Amino acid sequence: MTVAIAKEAPEGLRAGWDEGAAVRDPRAAPPAGRTIVRLRGALDIASAQELRERLIDVLHRRASLVIIDLSHVPSCDATGLAVLISTQRRARLLGSVMLLAAPSPPVAKVLRSTGLHRCFTIYPDLRGALASQRRKDDARTALALPLPVGQGSPAFPELAVG
């Protein structure tokens, strides 16, 4: 199995991986940036341990979003599924989001037949996964912007002074 990792900073895509970044305490700061993990080869017992270690490393580098591109994964066994499940669980614990993108037809079939397609957020392509998260980020930013003084309705009208 070949694993290619690209880290996307919030302001745009940056190829490669920042090897100089220190592993931080998961409670120290909120996650930042996006990471795309492109897998090539079978996701099976032979590749599971290495992949698990690489994904744990990605999560501990504080990515807010991890997208796993499955477009070049010809097969996936129970051990491979276990890696995906444990990675998603760890991502949630660390405050990150994990998405699956572009599963190959055999991998999509395994996800559907096991019912795991309901446990993951899966996009048909990488572009869709990135776009969906950007829309969510834009919506959060719009909600976080303060209204100018005098505009909008108070959250608790009975406590409003005026």
Q: What is the pLDDT of residues 106-119, one digit of tens each?
A: 999 999 999 999 99
User: Is the pLDDT assigned to residue 99 strictly greater than 70?
Assistant: yes
Which tens digits make up the pLDDT trace of 66-97? 999 999 999 999 999 999 999 999 999 999 99
Q: How many CB atoms lie within 10 A of CB 107?
A: 25
For residue 71, CA distances in Å to 27, 30, 59, 103, 123 come to 33, 30, 21, 5, 11
Position 33 confidence tier, pLDDT thresholds 50, 70, 90: confident
For residue 115, CA distances in Å to 21, 79, 97, 111 come to 37, 16, 20, 6
> What is the reported pLDDT for 137?
59
Residue in 31, 89, 18 with CA at minimum distance from that of residue 64: 31
What the block records as the tokens of 80 is 């491979």
More confident residue, 13 or 103: 103
> What is the reported pLDDT for 44?
95
Share of the chain above pLDDT 70, in %: 67
Contacts of 60 (CB under 8 A, 6+ apart): 23, 24, 26, 94
**What's the CA gap between 158 and 129, in Å, rounded?**
42
Average pLDDT score over residue span 10-32: 38
Give the strand pairing for 12-14 and 2-9. Answer: antiparallel
Please provide the CATH number assigned to the domain covering 1-9+36-129: 3.30.750.24
Share of the chain above pLDDT 90, in %: 56
Torsion of CA 150, 156, 157, 158, to 10 degrees: -140
| Phi-psi region at 33: left, alpha or beta (left = phi > 0; alpha = psi -120 to 50) | left
Strand partners, 97: 65
User: Is the pLDDT assigned to residue 135 strictly greater than 80?
Assistant: no
> What is the reported pLDDT for 116?
95
Position 132 confidence tier, pLDDT thresholds 50, 70, 90: confident
